[in-house]
Amino acid sequence: MKKNTAIPAIVLSALLLVGCTAAPSPTPIYSFTATPEITDTPAPTPTVEPTAGPASTPTPEITAAAADPTATPTSAPTASPSPTAPPFVTVSAGQSRTALLKPGTGSLRIRAGKGTSFAILGSIPEGDAFDVLDAGDPDWYRVQYCDLIGYASADYIKLGGPSTPIPTYNGVLDTAVLDGLDNTAQGWGIPMETGGKIPVVPSRTARLFKAYGAFCQMDTTSPRVYLTFDCGYEAGYTGRILDTLKEKNCKAVFFITHDYFKSNAALVRRMIDEGHIVGNHSWTHPNMTKLSYRQFTDEIVKLNDLIRETCGYEMTYFRPPEGVFSPRSLAATQMLGMKTILWDFAYQDWDRSKQPGADYAYDKVMKHIHNGSILLLHAVSSSNTEALPRIIDAMRSAGYEPSLLDA
């Protein structure tokens, strides 16, 4: 069976839009005013609580709106643990439990140890799922949110059942977790930059992507760039695109639908045989945030199964149709063993009746190219097809190397 060996085992000016409307900037969620454990506005650099013993007036762990009158600060240890090397005990796989914050919490601080004397490492926003690694202490749970591990007050945590491991292609959705996540549809788009500058992903979105294995750009310290092509139907250009990629010894990602494969199986097999990545663009190209859990699963798993059975190839990347997603849809995609791939470069290239020409396509790409960029191009574009040889040559001349995704 062929495997994608590149994968290890989750409104604005110049906005990138592909048939969708960008969501407004999210409301900031962090705040570290005073000492409450839960907050709802953005935070500055984490601070350390006083290391003296308990104050005569207890320091609240939460904001007044959700204050727990029984909460009292823990006396400082002789030496506070280092936030970068806390004395954690390794927990075996399968022992953790999925959790959510109780409604109205806002966000909950993660600390380097059990008590308010310890350094603040970060926060968990309300609505995001996280893992409780150890619930043995009734007051302070050991938690993991993204790659952040520390301790959080147990009073504001709602434990679920055992955490669902990120499964393989036949995994199931943990609906108890998904039901607690926001399912508001967001259209993807960020402003493009010029002169090699890196487009800035809003911090709330960046945390969301990190939590659920989604990417709109790769390592921005590396000069590698990533050509991706969406293939909803065939307009006669994909063969020429593959010819160019072969001639230039260049690899790309092709996101396909069921209809595309049904009509162009030979082209898909050629993509695989020539070392490209074939990604999942859904079975019927729906808005993934509008589906039932069963429909959501079928949209991804049925196409995975079809490609595996007919081509002996395992798809592990998913691009949501029209770039529409929600926290719930990203989490559900991750639960099905897939990584969500968006982009930080795109332009209106999908309308076959309004093609701007090869020079325009070339200038557009080279004006906005930067380290780690994921470029979204449509394979139905004659402009892209004609400009592609020059684009690849110019990228390399400028020090960039078109590469395979390795998220």
Q: Quote the tokens at residue 288.
A: 């993934």
- Supply the angle between the helices 382-397 and 238-247 in degrees, to the nearest 10: 20
Please state the φ and ψ torsions of residue 245, each to the nearest 5 degrees: -60, -40
Burial readout 333-358 (b: 16 or more C-beta within 10 A, e: otherwise): bbbbbbbbbbbbbbbebbeeeebbeb
pLDDT in tens, the chain (407 residues): 444 444 333 333 333 333 333 333 333 222 222 234 444 333 333 333 333 333 333 343 443 333 333 333 333 333 333 333 232 223 333 445 777 888 888 889 999 999 999 999 999 887 777 888 888 889 999 998 877 889 999 999 887 655 444 343 446 788 878 888 889 999 998 999 999 999 999 888 998 999 899 999 999 999 999 999 999 999 999 999 999 999 999 999 999 999 999 999 999 999 999 999 999 999 999 999 999 998 999 999 999 999 999 999 999 999 999 999 999 999 999 999 999 999 999 999 999 999 999 999 999 999 999 999 999 999 999 999 999 999 999 999 999 999 999 86
In this prediction the pTM is: 0.64
Distance of alpha carbon 122 from alpha carbon 133, whole angstroms: 17
CATH superfamily of 184-402: Glycoside hydrolase/deacetylase (3.20.20.370)
Residue 393: its H or E element: helix 382-397
**How many CA atoms, within 13 angstroms, populate the side-chain half-sphere of residue 187?**
13
140, β-bridge pairs:
153
Where exactly are the structural domains of the chain?
64-162, 184-402
Distance of alpha carbon 357 from alpha carbon 359, whole angstroms: 6
Distance of alpha carbon 188 from alpha carbon 120, whole angstroms: 32
> Which of the residues are catalytic?
230, 378
Q: Quote the tokens at residue 32.
A: 């570290």
Candidate CATH numbers 2.30.30.40, 2.102.10.10, 3.40.50.10260, 3.40.50.1220; the one for domain 64-162? 2.30.30.40
Contact between 32 and 334 under an 8 Å Cβ cutoff? The reply is: no
